[in-house]
Amino acid sequence: MSAVVSPPLVADPFESLNEGQREAVVHGSDGDARALLVIAGAGSGKTMTLAARVAHLIQRGADPHRLLLLTFSRRAAGEMVHRAGRIVHQALRLPSTTRPPSLPWAGTFHAIGARLLRDYAEAIGLPADFTVLDRADAEDLMALVRQSQGLAATKLRFPQKATCLAIYSRVVNSQGTVDGVLREAFPWCLGWEAELGQLFAAYAAAKAQQHSLDFDDLLLYWSALMEAPELSAHVAARFDHVLVDEYQDTNRLQAAILRGLRPDGRGLTVVGDDAQSIYAFRAAEVRNILDFPQQFPQAARVVALERNYRSTQPILEASNAVIAEAPERYAKTLWCDRPSSARPRIVTVPDEMAQARQVADRVLAWREEGIRLKQQAVLFRTAHHSAAVELELTRRRIPFVKFGGLKFLESSHVKDVLAVLRWAENPRSRIAGFRVAQLVPGVGPANARKLLDAMDASATPGGVLPEHAMPAAAREDWAAFAALWSRLRETPAWPADLDAVNAWYLPLLQRLHEDAPARQADLAQLTQIASGYAARERFLTELTLDPPAASSDEAGPPHLDEDYMILSTIHSAKGQEWGAVQILNVVDGCIPSEMSTGDARQIAEERRLLYVGMTRAKQHLELIAPQRFFVSEQARHGDRHVYASLSRFITDKAVACFERVSAQRPPGAEGAPGPSAVPDVKIDLASRVRDRWTR
């Protein structure tokens, strides 16, 4: 007899939505075919609304396999899918044993781009086995090309590889010219336009030769795909709905892709907050969201979410006062009904050391009040601004995790292992090959280069490697590696391939690194991550596009059951919230950064950055203003201390929203009392000690 499972009686999952949220969620059910723009103020439930809309569409019969959901990070995609799944589950009253529908097309623009390009590679002249270069690999390739062009040796200093890549990336993403980008963002590189143009052409040729795409190519080729009428309709027809989160941080290429996917706007939903646009340095275009409604034959519908569920009224008032001065924006005033008598505070401290002590004191005091460390965050403009705070927290044994530091994939051992897999996947990748060949004992750069040249010259590079003659000292180890490599190419098996590479690499790891056990733990973590992917290619591509954060080279996340606080750049804090937030260095020269004080648009972005930081706080917010702070960013002036004044964004009107305090020095900080006077006695201890040996 089979058991009959009756659906549980649950409340309407859409019941808790407010009026604006509901409007956004059900848009289109009445036949309204306009595109939808949801202007969602900070903390107004954007994630919840988008997830509920996805669930609503599925509930009304949309096929989850035909929903394209584009988010800013993989984590955001996962969160959205999870929440939408829960709502669908509830709305359809599915029994708890039934899994909610999966959304295979949820991910970042780059990850989805990589998948689509793989499908259309042959049609658009891309090699089907292309691999994706991460930033570091792309920089290395840029450096190689720069050298082969003779640009590294020029008398006047030619821009560094990272700067070259940043300029290239900005030209691509803004669809601008080298000249325009230099003028706007890299004025110190003016004069090198022609050489940079040549360099970029050679860089593009090298990528093509090596069957490699960099991050920017994923958007560039996707947008080109959407401009080819023979193919764009085919791509567009795969999806019924396209939903985009964090639209304020998209760039021109991304906007063009969306126009190609939904030329008339039908089935397109974008959600964002112009006041939180903080990625112009990656060519994000705040105009995308400001101009969105007029892009379509029939103007988009705009729904504003103005009710904030996150912060207390005084925190919201202070944040509103900061953003009120922004020159151009969708007019909205956030409100909430969480009164509190505690105003946010501006804390003045003498210098950065005092700031570090203040932060630690405050963290401990809040913890005494019952706010767990996990509910506390310290935010800052630039990753290196937290150095003193990190030291102080470590000294006082306050556990923390930092976001925005060295990444898991940047550690050399993880790169080594991934490079082996990448090279097997794509034998034309010189970057992977150059790294891996030299891991084999006895193989140096000259021999590695000879091998790669031979592979380049062959139509079947996969056949060259096992046959290649290496120096006698390397022969045995090379044969072992070649056997592994050929196996990986000929009979791929996932995730067993990774185990095979690890087994080959472990003896080398022990030879190369003193801290091998810690690094081995990273490789174990990599194996764990690998098991979540169906195939090697997907693993390599998606890991490159959205890498995990921690590595053994850093403090790393403490055990999961431990309480720890968060240190984060404001950029990395996007989309998150904490009970108590402290923001470091809220002084001119830092927010706004000294680098951006010339340009009105950059200043506007810095204002939004402070606003994003402030609106992360739920109950407590403190901005710290050291009176002296150390500047090391500006090469022109070298390292120096400056006397700082409170950030210009805290105008007189805004100041009124805060309580102002000066941090007291903790007792004893002026210097420990010296020893009292030595008693006036004369004892010849020295000869007594010496005599000990002569007696």
Ligand X SMILES: Nc1ncnc2c1ncn2[C@@H]1O[C@H](COP(=O)(O)OP(=O)(O)OP(=O)(O)O)[C@@H](O)[C@H]1O
Query: Nearest distance from residue 308's CB to ligand X, in Å?
Result: 8
The greatest distance separating any two alpha carbons of the chain, rounded to the nearest whole angstrom, comes to 109
Nearer to ligand X by C-beta: 277 or 551?
A: 277
Stretch of residues binding ligand X (CB under 6 A), selected from 38-46, 208-216, 418-426, 443-451: 38-46
Which of these ranges, 11-19, 522-530, 647-655, 667-675, lies near ligand X under the rule CB under 6 A?
Answer: 11-19
Confirm or reject binding of residue 18 to ligand X (CB under 6 A): yes
Q: How far is the CB of 576 from ligand X (least distance, A)?
A: 7
Minimum CB separation from ligand X for residue 51, in Å? 9
The residue range among 37-45, 91-99, 312-320, 502-510 that interacts with ligand X, by the rule CB under 6 A, is 37-45
Residue 537-576 contact track with ligand X, rule CB under 6 A, x = bound: --------------------------------------x-
User: Could you tell me the sign of the dihedral formed by the alpha carbons of 690, 692, 693, 695, in that order?
Assistant: positive
Q: Does 277 bind ligand X (CB under 6 A)?
A: no
The CA-CA-CA angle for residues 102, 108, 113, to 5°, reads 100
The CA distances from residue 439 to 354, 418, 450, 675, in Å, are: 47, 13, 15, 58
- The response to whether 41 counts as a known ligand-binding position is yes
- 458 annotated ligand-binding residue: no
46 annotated binding-site participant: yes
| Out of 35, 36, 39, 40, the residue judged to bind ligand X by CB under 6 A | 40
The alpha carbon of residue 504 and the mean position of all alpha carbons in its chain are separated, in whole angstroms, by: 32
Binding residues for ligand X, rule CB under 6 A, total: 18
Min separation Cβ 608 and ligand X, Å: 12
Q: Is 404 in the site for ligand X (CB under 6 A)?
A: no
Name the residue nearer to ligand X (CB basis): 43 or 495. Answer: 43
Residue 315 — φ and ψ, nearest 5°?
-70, -40
CB of 554 to ligand X, least distance (A): 26
Contact present, 383 and 569 (Cβ < 8 Å): yes
Nearer residue to ligand X within complex by CB, 273 or 605: 273
- Please state, as a whole number, how many other Cβ atoms lie within 10 Å of the Cβ of residue 397: 6
Which segment (1-9, 41-49, 532-540, 592-600) binds ligand X by CB under 6 A? 41-49
Site for ligand X in 587-616 (CB under 6 A): 615
421 vs 609, beta carbon nearer ligand X: 609
| 273 lies in the site for ligand X, by CB under 6 A | yes
Nearer to ligand X, 21 or 551 (CB): 21
**Candidate ranges 46-54, 257-265, 399-407, 416-424; the one touching ligand X (CB under 6 A):** 46-54
**Cβ-closest position to ligand X:** 45
Question: Binding segment for ligand X among 26-34, 42-50, 256-264, 312-320 (CB under 6 A)?
Answer: 42-50
Residue 44 marked ligand-binding = yes
DSSP letter at 627? S
Q: Which is nearer to ligand X, 176 or 579 (CB)?
A: 579
Give the strand order in the sheet containing 345-349. Answer: 400-403, 565-569, 376-380, 578-583, 617-626, 345-349, 659-662
Told to check if 47 binds ligand X by CB under 6 A, we report yes
**Is residue 415 annotated as involved in ligand binding?**
no
Task: Please say which residue, 108 or 544, places its beta carbon nearer to ligand X.
Answer: 108
Report the distance separating Cα 81 and Cα 68, nearest Å. 11
230 contacts: CB under 8 Å, gap ≥ 6:
none
Pick one of 89, 161, 310, 402: the residue that binds ligand X (CB under 6 A): 310
CB-based contacts of 184, cutoff 8 Å, min separation 6: 176
Q: In whole angstroms, give the CA distance from residue 543 to residue 662.
A: 46
H or E segment at 273?
none
CA–CA gap between residue 313 and residue 335 (Å, rounded): 7
> Which residue's CB is nearer to ligand X, number 43 or number 626?
43
CA-closest candidate to residue 625, choices 401, 391, 381 = 381
Among 48, 87, 178, 219, binds ligand X (CB under 6 A): 48
Residues 190-229 that bind ligand X (CB under 6 A): none
Task: With contacts defined by CB under 6 A, name the span among 13-21, 129-137, 194-202, 473-481 that binds ligand X.
Answer: 13-21
How far is 345 from 353, CA to CA, in rounded Å?
19
Q: Report helix, strand or coil for 252.
A: helix
Interaction between residue 20 and ligand X (CB under 6 A): no
Find out whether 176 is annotated in a ligand binding site. no
Tell me the two tokens of residue 19: 């009026």
Exposure pattern of 463-496 as b/e (b: 16+ CB <10 Å)?
Answer: ebbeeeebeeebeebbeebbebbeebbeeeebbe
Q: Which is nearer to ligand X, 44 or 348 (CB)?
A: 44
Phi, psi of 662, deg, nearest 5: -110, 135
CA–centroid distance for 397 within its chain: 28
Q: Contacting ligand X (CB under 6 A), which of 281, 309, 494, 533?
A: 309
Is position 45 an interface residue for ligand X (rule: CB under 6 A)? yes
Q: Is residue 14 involved in binding ligand X (CB under 6 A)? A: no
Per CB under 6 A, 16 contacts ligand X:
yes
Residue 570 beta carbon to ligand X: minimum distance, rounded to whole angstroms: 12
Closest residue by Cα to residue 616 from 304, 332, 276, 355: 276
Of residues 34 and 46, the one with the C-beta less far from ligand X:
46
CA 189 to CA 173: how far, in whole Å? Answer: 19
One DSSP character per residue, 552-616 reads: TTS-----TTS--EEEEETGGGTT--EEEEEE---BTBBTTBGGGTT-HHHHHHHHHHHHHHHTT
Which of the ranges 43-51, 321-329, 648-656, 686-694 carries the binding residues for ligand X, by CB under 6 A?
Answer: 43-51
**Is 47 labeled as ligand-binding?**
yes
| Residue 43 lies near ligand X (rule: CB under 6 A) | yes
- Residue 17 in the binding site for ligand X (CB under 6 A): yes
Per DSSP (E only), the strands in 607-669 are: 617-626, 628-631, 640-643, 659-662
Please state, in angstroms and rounded to a whole number, the distance separating the CA atoms of residues 249 and 252: 10
Question: Which of 13, 35, 44, 226 lies at the binding interface for ligand X (CB under 6 A)?
Answer: 44
Angle between helices 193-209 and 135-148 (to 10 degrees): 110
Q: Which residues bind ligand X (CB under 6 A)?
A: 16-18, 21, 40, 42-48, 273, 276, 309-310, 575, 615
Q: Which residues are annotated as a binding site for ATP?
A: 40-47
Q: Which residues are annotated as a binding site?
A: 40-47
